[in-house]
Structure 1
Amino acid sequence: MADAEVRTATVADAAEIARIQLGTWRSAYSELLPPGVLEELTQDTTEQQWSEAVAENATTVLLATEGSWTVGFCVGGTAPAAETAAADGSVPEDANHTVLVSSLLVEPRWGRRGHGGRLLGTLAQRLREAGNTRGIAWIPEADEASMAFYRGVGWEPDGTVRTLDAGGRPLRELRVTGTLELRFE
């Protein structure tokens, strides 16, 4: 394997992040999302959204590279209070030290080479250094690969479920959570 690294994204990386998101979603989520939802997503609009997100600096956006190729990205930051609440609406004691991993994508052709683990590990380390202790992520219930990945680092479903409207089709997601002291199997 060529040199693999993780680095902080810049606004100049927005096109690559958009390319990876669109390609990965169209490949991995074609069965979960209606075709119209995926077809409406354009490179230009997605690139502009990522450019703004990186420039705002409200979250940490990391890129995985292998040699000269950008192969994946990860985004995380302070979890909104509504995201940390238990199913009964109660807020856990560590809510102020909980982060949300809002996206973790590696292009399928670069999968199973450790990029996802490097991305999440680097993100967890940076967010831990900022005083955070726990992370959460939302996983489509039918996404067995992502669930296996998060379980592999010690994160488990906590019983909280949400259903999103994905272009008129319900998309059920499970929340996984775990310490930012990741273990890799």
Structure 2
Amino acid sequence: MLNIVLFGPPGAGKGTQSEKLIEKYKIDHISTGDLFRKHLGEGTELGKLAQKYMDEGNLVPDEVVIGMVDEKINATADLTGFIFDGFPRTVAQAKALDELLTKKGTRISGMISLEVPEEELKKRIKERGKTSGRADDQDEDKINNRIKVYNEETLPVANYYEEQGKLAKIHGVGAIDEIFQKICAVIDAY
């Protein structure tokens, strides 16, 4: 089973690259953002709880996120693998994901980290905000807070996977297809 963590700060291009990877490798997509929106749209308790944290620009607590991820994995009939997009965001989540996958007889194949300079991230997020309708993509304070939270709380996850020999860094600036080819070369090596 091919299980990839696509990693990087907000605006690095994870969503764009995920779509291409799903099509090429026929793996299922787990995006915590999509899971949150699903739960919010359905008005579940997990969704309401997640919204409170997201509105403040903070990370949703691990137990809420892991619960959503476990539910999604269990709902997937033919497991060929997953691409985790925007998850795990903390070392505790990475450890919980490893435990969850081990119970299911699989593991993370590798982490691909999209490396993008901060000014480029801000530009991309603001541009995305013009078309996405996401208020948090248009508020400079929230954008800055999301990048700060990523640097302080999420970036250590890369070290966790690097210690396992599972981290590959990809320069995430340039043509979408060029970046995609670099990512595919890493995945094909798995």
TM-score exceeds 0.5: no
Q: Which has the higher helix share?
A: 2
| Higher normalized strand content (fraction of residues) | 1
TM-score, with length taken from structure 1: 0.32
Q: Which structure would you say has the larger RCO, counting Cα contacts within 8 Å and 6 or more residues apart?
A: 2
